[in-house]
């Protein structure tokens, strides 16, 4: 059984994961409008992945006898500029999510909640991957600069990302 504190934090994490999905969908919409379909596709897949993460928390809460209490999701930004600026936001956002996961893990350790620690291990590893992916694309965009032909090549490459 989850403590009241852990239950509250887990329910908040469902909201955070769903906000992540909203954020990436908003970015996908921007890329679609900018005729960068590969970037848009990458963001759509990222949004779907974040929804899956939310459902993992959702199911875990139920499996542990807790009550899921869905919370209001803030509206994500709708105005974006360059791919570089967007991926700077992506990297920063993923770092924030990592911090949230680490706080949940620390709470589980403090409470001696071993089942939640095991559950969160997957998310700790996942965030390493998420930050690496964002960082790799961000660093590539920094190398590219404002060379439009290279942006279109990266767009093509990102469009090849398959659903996991």
pLDDT for residue 92 is more than 60: yes
Domain ranges for the chain = 4-158
Q: What is the pLDDT of residue 68?
A: 98
Taken in order 154, 24, 7, 99, the sign of the CA dihedral is: positive
**Residue 164 binned pLDDT confidence (cut-offs 50, 70, 90):** low
Q: Is 6 exposed, middle or buried (0-12, 13-18, 19+ CB in 10 A)?
A: buried
Distance CA 87, CA 91 (A): 6
Q: What pTM was computed for the model? A: 0.94
In the CATH scheme, what is the code of domain 4-158?
1.20.1260.10
Asked if pLDDT for residue 141 goes beyond 90, the answer is: yes
pLDDT at residue 142, rounded to an integer: 96
Percent of the chain residues past pLDDT 90, beyond the cut: 94
């Amino acid at each position: 059984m989850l403590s009241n504190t852990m239950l509250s934090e887990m329910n908040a994490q469902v909201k955070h994961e769903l906000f992540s999905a909203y954020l990436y969908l908003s970015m996908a919409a921007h890329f679609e409008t900018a005729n960068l379909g590969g970037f848009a596709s990458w963001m759509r897949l990222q949004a779907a992945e974040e929804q899956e993460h939310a459902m993992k928390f959702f199911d875990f809460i139920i499996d542990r006898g807790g009550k899921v209490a869905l919370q209001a999701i803030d509206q994500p930004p709708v105005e974006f500029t360059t791919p570089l600026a967007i991926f700077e936001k992506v990297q920063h956002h993923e770092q924030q999510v990592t911090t949230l996961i680490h706080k949940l893990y620390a709470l589980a350790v403090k409470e001696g909640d071993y089942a939640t620690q095991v559950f969160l291990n997957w998310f700790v590893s996942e965030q390493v991957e998420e930050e690496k992916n964002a960082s790799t694309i961000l660093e590539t965009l920094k190398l590219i600069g404002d060379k439009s032909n290279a942006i279109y090549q990266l767009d093509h490459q990102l469009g090849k990302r398959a659903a996991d």
